[in-house]
Amino acid sequence: MLPVPPGMWRVSRWLRVYDWDWRKRPFPGVNPVAAAHRAQIYPRRFFYHVLRVIAPEDRETGRADAVEYDQDVHALLAACFEPVSLSDVIEGDFGQRHGADAVAGAILGLIERGLLVTADADEPVDTEAVAAASEMYVAIQVREEFVAALECVKQIEPRVVVEIGTAFGGTLFGWAQVAHPEAHLVSVDLPGGIGGGGYTREHESHFRNFCGARQRLTCILGDSQHPDVVERVRAATEGVPVDMMLIDGDHSYEGVSKDFANYRSLVREGGMILFHDIQPPPPETAQPMGVWRFWREIRDDYRHTEIIHDPDQFSAGIGVLYV
């Protein structure tokens, strides 16, 4: 077997972007047409945890969701549907048939042309690319707002993150990318909950793929307002103060007030609580949406910032409260 350049072995944060096989396992809650479309534009493209693929014209922005396909990429894709590492490709059928030289040659050729970038542990996290990738996991966010929120969170590199309201995992994916490499992420969601539908136990392993090798994920399924759930979250944090919390679960005025009252004390002094949907909803909204009202009541008691893409927009908008 050919020696593989050491840089290639580094674990890439990017490859997790491509780890969901939409064709084999449509995500419950995503309608089949949307899932089929995603399977076409986001097939599972490459190795797990080895390299990331970008198109040359996207190098400036680093957008990881645009991939230029060419013959070399196709050849490697064909070989890489299942393997977990580059060595599996070299040692597997494709490598056996074409020889290790051919595999390594194709990979190095792609790197030279800027189509493949070796993962680099020192590379700063590209929040634009993370936000773009989070849309594959159906982040319920305005992309520009999510980029700005990721930037804020990246500054503090949180070690303990609590997310109330995970749905399909879009924001959870994002936090995992900008959190500390040893961060503990705690996700709370209510199966069948309003505004996303929550997730089931079987999605936990999918969400775990979002995390780095040394990150931990605890999933708590239940009503965030129930005292047992509050206690489970408290126990999960093991007395370590929370650095960052997202409140994006029950969007009613009562719901968001209770989440704030129940969990605020877990957040360390100077830590952040993010609220989603601080903009008023459109008048015809049937769902109870009271985050905007609650936010306006409390924001001036704290240092805070508002991330709002368009001041005239209905809904969305992220409030960042420093407690």
Ligand X SMILES: C[S@@+](CC[C@H](N)C(=O)[O-])C[C@H]1O[C@@H](n2cnc3c(N)ncnc32)[C@H](O)[C@@H]1O
Shortest distance in whole angstroms from residue 206 CB to ligand X: 14
Residues 243-262 that bind ligand X (CB under 6 A): 248-250, 255
Which residues have a Cβ under 8 Å from the Cβ of 100 and sit 6 or more positions away?
1, 2, 90
Shortest distance in whole angstroms from residue 190 CB to ligand X: 4
Stretch that binds ligand X, among 53-61, 123-131, 194-202, 230-238 (CB under 6 A): 194-202
Helices (H), 99-186: 100-112, 127-134, 143-156, 170-178
Kindly tell me which residue out of 53, 148, 176, 188 binds ligand X, with binding defined by CB under 6 A: 188
Q: Does the footprint of ligand X cover residue 223 (CB under 6 A)?
A: yes
* Residue located via tokens 């290790």: 100
Q: How far apart are CA 144 and CA 271, in angstroms?
A: 22
Shortest distance in whole angstroms from residue 274 CB to ligand X: 10
Q: Does the footprint of ligand X cover residue 139 (CB under 6 A)?
A: yes
Total of residues contacting ligand X (CB under 6 A): 25
Distant-in-sequence contacts of 296-299, Cβ < 8 A, 24+ apart: 298/260
Shortest distance in whole angstroms from residue 266 CB to ligand X: 15
Residues 158-187 that bind ligand X (CB under 6 A): 164-167, 170-171
Q: How far apart are CA 210 and CA 228, in angstroms?
A: 27
Task: Assess contact for 213 and 121: CB atoms under 8 A.
Answer: no
Shortest distance in whole angstroms from residue 284 CB to ligand X: 18
Shortest distance in whole angstroms from residue 223 CB to ligand X: 4
Q: Does the footprint of ligand X cover residue 279 (CB under 6 A)?
A: no
The number of C-alpha atoms within 13 Å of 266 and in the hemisphere containing its C-beta is: 26
List the structure tokens of 32: 């089949």
Q: Does the footprint of ligand X cover residue 317 (CB under 6 A)?
A: no
Q: How far apart are CA 258 and CA 280, in angstroms?
A: 19
Cβ-based nearer residue to ligand X, 95 or 248 = 248
Q: Does the footprint of ligand X cover residue 189 (CB under 6 A)?
A: yes
Q: How far apart are CA 189 and CA 180, in angstroms?
A: 23
As a whole number of Å, the end-to-end CA separation of the chain is 55
Site residues for ligand X per CB under 6 A: 139-141, 164-167, 170-171, 188-190, 193-198, 223-225, 248-250, 255
